[in-house]
Structure 1
Amino acid sequence: MEFDVPGPPCPTTLPDGSPAWLVSRYADVRQVLSDSWIGRAELYAADGPPMSETPGLVNDPDLMFNQDGPGHLRLRRTMRRAFTPRAVARWEPWIVSIVTELLDGLARRRGTVDIVAEFTRPLPVAVISRLMGLDASARERMRHWSKHAFSDGTGSAAEVETALAEFSAFGAELLAARRRAPGDDLVSSLVTAADDEGGIPEPQLVSLVCGLVVGGHDSTMTMLGNSLLYLLGDRPECWARVASSEAAAGALADRLFHLVPLGDDRGSIRRASRDVEVGGVVIPSGAVIVADCGMANRDPAVFRTRQDADLFAPLEAATLSFGAGPHYCLGAWLARLELTLALHHLAARFPRLRLAEPPENVVWRLGTTSRSPARLPVTW
């Protein structure tokens, strides 16, 4: 893997040709992601820059990721307790049961198998479905909504808008159902926390639920598919050690999150609400800033050893793959647990697992924020 070398903040252009500032050094990116004067909500201000015309959930101003300040903190507080390391650890037994069930089905297959269809896609969907108390009938609709929520522009605007309207209606109905009859699921706990918190507009709660439904499985599915392609295609010598222990798989998962990007776009876009100095450079008020977490994760001033030399070595600093600051990903612990358990149990069950086709034959699934194999034929 080859990447550009990070440097001081410098002018750049966005894909649409509009001006921006590129920030790529580790310390500078952490500052941008943590600075209260640099945020997401400013992108959607009346005088903000032109946003992508591709419809989708990512550019919904009500989405928690696009909120800043007190409103953003209220939304995060409704979720924080549900995603603590202790809370996530309690889910391990039933995640293992889902993994085992899928591997049992895989073992009954013969010949070449598409591991995306049989494992990397259904696993995170089943996990988020159980976490949110969704029945099996919602799973196929989740795939449809995810495709349009993270649209790659291949669907028409009318198709995407119709799908997102259906998705929002589903989120509103789910919230109403949990208010009427609370259960032992994440949506019920969100309703309770939101009522205790107060002051959260209903559209923001609906966007929060929809974001959890699709974001809670799309990123894990993407990461698992990309990791398997990398491990089986480039690093097959690691497979036996992944099978040896869950601890080894956990160390590998940390390194994979850091090393393997979810998509081609490694930038996290923000906007300055006043003049800010970053890395000795003054970025003017109103400027759009691209915080390139991928380049920052390979900053030689912080990560001094070859990134992919030992995939089981501890990282020299915290990865920026989950962001930093107020928008640090709340689902990081769940994503790590899912990737760890999936890789460990898959390697232990299928020690001779290998790609059935050359890596260059992979057909990619493209989305707004992710890129992963649409199918990945394997055999053992």
Structure 2
Amino acid sequence: MPAPTTTRDVRRVPVRVGGTALSRATVLLAIGALLAACLASLMVGANPLSPAQVWAGLLGQEQEAMDVVRGGRLPRTVLGLLIGSALGAAGAVMQSITRNPLADPQLLGVNGGAAAAVVTAISVFGITQPGGYIWFALIGAACAAVLVYLLGTGRRSASNPVRLLLAGAAVQAALQSYVVATMLADPTAYYSFRYWDIGALTGRTLEDIGPVVWFLAAGLLGMMLLARPLNALSLGEEAGRALGANIPGTRTASAVVIVLLCGSATAAVGPIAFVGLAVPHLARLTVGVDHRTMLPASALLGALLLITADVVGRVIAWPQEIGVGIITGIVGAPVLVWLVRARKVGRL
């Protein structure tokens, strides 16, 4: 008679991984590309700087360069790293826990819930700083996530990708209508909210970033702790339960991580679409489906995508800028179409 399975067996879950020399080389290439994107983010703008001027600005050796780099571009780059990592990781956890390749904070209404809560904070409570949005955004994101899950789950069946997508679209539309109605009724809220709503990394200081860093760090740490349980759950509920995985606990912890990452990211820069949708698929192609490598790869690629999109937004409209949320929307729409048309869209 075989020995009973214990929770330690979760560590030996057989998953298909991409641990080849090619995938490692691809990860190293992505890290190099991220470093190059960060340098470009510090150099590119209405006042272009050379690498030497960027270095002098960081060290405080040249006043004009220091004002440009430290005053605007460094906080912008740091924020891009944090928000991109958060959205990429949140999308990966969301797709894994729902086994839905279309899961995305924007498509499933999580960002909409945060946006609705933020516009309420502006209109009703007069809050205008990102640090003050954080609790409202977290509560709004949590409420929207619960509502979409309840609407998209049948009484006797697990969540269905199409049903969840439709529920998310309905909730997102309702929340967007509320946001628009609130802004039309309150001109002050409109002027404060419109810039935040497009999703942009500009106009932030390192002091503005501080209040959300702890929530983002907690979410990213929780993401790494979920890697092994998600590996077990990826085999199916019955197999995961046989391997000793705590399925309700894993789902609850995943929901907390998603809300922390999406709510704090949305509070900091506004709703940014499609990063959480596209990045996890690219990570799986790069390193495989083992969550111990796929989740960090999603965070890495999310940061790379967001910073690159921000730089592109500065270049194509120079000397003006296009918000990073608009650029990611343009890039992500074709990805959504491809995923919807894919034969295996119904499962991961």
Q: Place the TM-score, normalised by the shorter chain, in its bin.
A: 0.3 to 0.5
Which has a greater percent of strand?
1
Which has a greater percent of helix?
2
TM-score (norm 1): 0.31
